[in-house]
Amino acid sequence: MSLEQEFLFLIPSTMANNLNLFLCFLLFVCFFTLCLSPGGLAWALISKPKNQPIIPGPSGTPFLGQVSTFTNSLTHRLLANLAHTLKAKSLMSFSIGFTRFVISSNPITAKELLNSSAFADRPIKESAYELLFHRAMGFAPYGEYWRNLRRISSTFLFSPKRICGFGVLRERIGVKMMKEIEGLMVKNGKVEVRKLLHFGSLSNVMESVFGKSVEFGDWEIEELVSEGYDLLGSFNWSDHFPVLGWLDLQGVRKRCRVLVGKVNVFVGKIIEEHRMKRRVIVGDEENNNNNNNPNDNEDGDFVDVLLDLEKENKLTDSDMIAVLWEMIFRGTDTVAILLEWILARMVLHPDIQAKLRSEIDQVVMKTGRNISNLDLPNLPYLHAVVKETLRMHPPGPLLSWARLAIHDTHVAGHFVPAGTTAMVNMWAITHDDQIWPDPTIYNPNRFIKDDVAIMGSDLRLAPFGSGRRVCPGKAMGLATVELWLAQLVHKFEWVQASSSKNKVNLSECLKLSLEMKHPLICRAIPRNDVGFESHP
């Protein structure tokens, strides 16, 4: 080939290469520009109606968005800082991969969001789906099935009568925990309370839901529960990058399937035991010619209630397992974690602890017996201590599980498309100095002066959420925490451990709930004039 011919041949290929390079560059610039738009990539990909104000928000790392915020153990604090810096407390947008988020750190917008019917659904993570939680109340899509579960549980598990009826059980478990604590103090001269509180809380849920008691040290159930917490609480890449889904790089799906198998056996056995017990009762009553329905038994637990459901309300066994299993999850962790924070605060603030004890002592003096469930309404300072701890250390700083927009909607004047995940940063609200004077100071007295409602009507402090999907177990959870706190502070004086390496450390770690990063280790000094039992 002559030189000229070669030259002629080369021009088109060089041009084509350059064109390719140019196109790649153009694509890269477009992608980068998309990623850098407010709220990041997932927000840039939506088409929104014209003339809508843009929701402020960080663009985050290209493509990844705010992944690093969510793989951090202080996500609530990082999001609060971002909202403050970007002046986006009312509503902030951000992306994680292809998932679109809005988050509110303002009580007015938070109320609008949580109480809107548009946000009555929850986004379902892969782990929750694999663990069959989409058939349980907390993750079930908004609709007839979910409504039915809420109705059944509010009538048969969370009604004031039922909660009061379980008071004796809570007292008994409280006494058991105190005996364990006393034993540990004799043995070690210090106690690590987390495990004990967790077992107490687990026993409480197991007995009120399953009618089955758990002994301290029952590792089978404990292992199932903690594996579930770990799976639900950890960040799963394939929730936000669908292409990674089939690879299961973190092994989440595999672990979920193993766990589901074990849970099916464990809970399935309990359901079968209930069925057998009922057959025996029916048999006995037929022999005695007694026509009473065994299902009218007022003492039945929640498993009995589910077994009694009629026709269209009847649940399949696997639905029942999901519903029952979820109760353990929701009810155990939150109560134990909140109590650990309160006890840590009692150790750090001996003056507040003394004031609380004196309130309890006065009630005990009046009644002539140890503290019981019935005394709780007469302990205003105790309520204030619990509220102040919920304000400073909300177990669900981001309200644990988010909401999902069912259809296009508007929040605080901003367009939010269907499929957006919505969250409330309750921690940011309860630490906002424009809402709470001296928010970093632990001061229960603020609730004596101003009796803020915490059950979801006032979003300045709504640790149980608000609206249609507000926590149904809130009254039961509070009654448990309050009674055990009263028992523990009445029986023991809580002080720092002697060794400096065990000094109370309030560092946080956000997993499924907001835990103390360093478990509380302290001394519980028994008050010798105080016995254990409530009813002598």
Residues within the annotated binding site for heme?
471
**Shortest Cβ distance from residue 44 to ligand HEM (Å)?**
28
Asked if residue 114 binds ligand HEM (CB under 6 A), the reply is yes
Cβ density class 104-123: b for 16+ within 10 Å, e for less: bbbbebbbbbbbbebbbbbb
**Shortest Cβ distance from residue 489 to ligand HEM (Å)?**
18
Binding-site residues, in ranges, read 471
**Shortest Cβ distance from residue 474 to ligand HEM (Å)?**
6
Find the binder of ligand HEM among 40, 56, 58, 396 (CB under 6 A): 396
d(CA 478, CA 473): 9
Asked if residue 330 binds ligand HEM (CB under 6 A), the reply is yes
Output the six-digit token pair for 42: 């997932």
Cα angle 182, 170, 155; round to 5: 165
Nearer to ligand HEM (CB atom), residue 58 or residue 395 = 395
Asked if residue 228 binds ligand HEM (CB under 6 A), the reply is no
Q: Which of 352, 370, 374 is nearest to 360 (CA)?
A: 370
Q: Quick one: which segment of 263-271, 343-351, 473-481, 496-504 binds ligand HEM (CB under 6 A)?
A: 473-481
d(CA 60, CA 99): 13
d(CA 109, CA 15): 55
Q: Quick one: which segment of 11-19, 281-289, 432-440, 471-479 binds ligand HEM (CB under 6 A)?
A: 471-479
CA distances from 205 to 317, 327, 485 (A): 20, 7, 17
Output the six-digit token pair for 197: 């509180």
- CA 306, distance to chain mean position in Å, is 24
Asked if residue 469 binds ligand HEM (CB under 6 A), the reply is yes
First-residue to last-residue Cα distance in the chain: 111
List binders of ligand HEM among 149-168 (CB under 6 A): 150
Q: Quick one: which segment of 105-113, 239-247, 266-274, 393-401 binds ligand HEM (CB under 6 A)?
A: 393-401
**Residue 93 dihedral angles phi and psi, to the nearest 5°:** -105, 150
Nearer to ligand HEM (CB atom), residue 59 or residue 204 = 204
Tokens 């056995």 correspond to what residue? Answer: 269
Other beta carbons within 10 angstroms of residue 343's beta carbon come to 27
Asked if residue 137 binds ligand HEM (CB under 6 A), the reply is yes
Contact status, residue 477 vs residue 502, Cβ threshold 8 Å: no
List binders of ligand HEM among 6-25 (CB under 6 A): none
Other beta carbons within 10 angstroms of residue 195's beta carbon come to 16
Asked if residue 123 binds ligand HEM (CB under 6 A), the reply is no
Nearer to ligand HEM (CB atom), residue 35 or residue 344 = 344
Q: Quick one: which segment of 46-54, 372-380, 458-466, 528-536 binds ligand HEM (CB under 6 A)?
A: 458-466
Asked if residue 327 binds ligand HEM (CB under 6 A), the reply is yes
Residues at the interface with ligand HEM (CB under 6 A): 114, 137-138, 150, 205, 326-327, 330-331, 334-335, 338, 395-396, 399-401, 463-467, 469-473, 476-477, 481
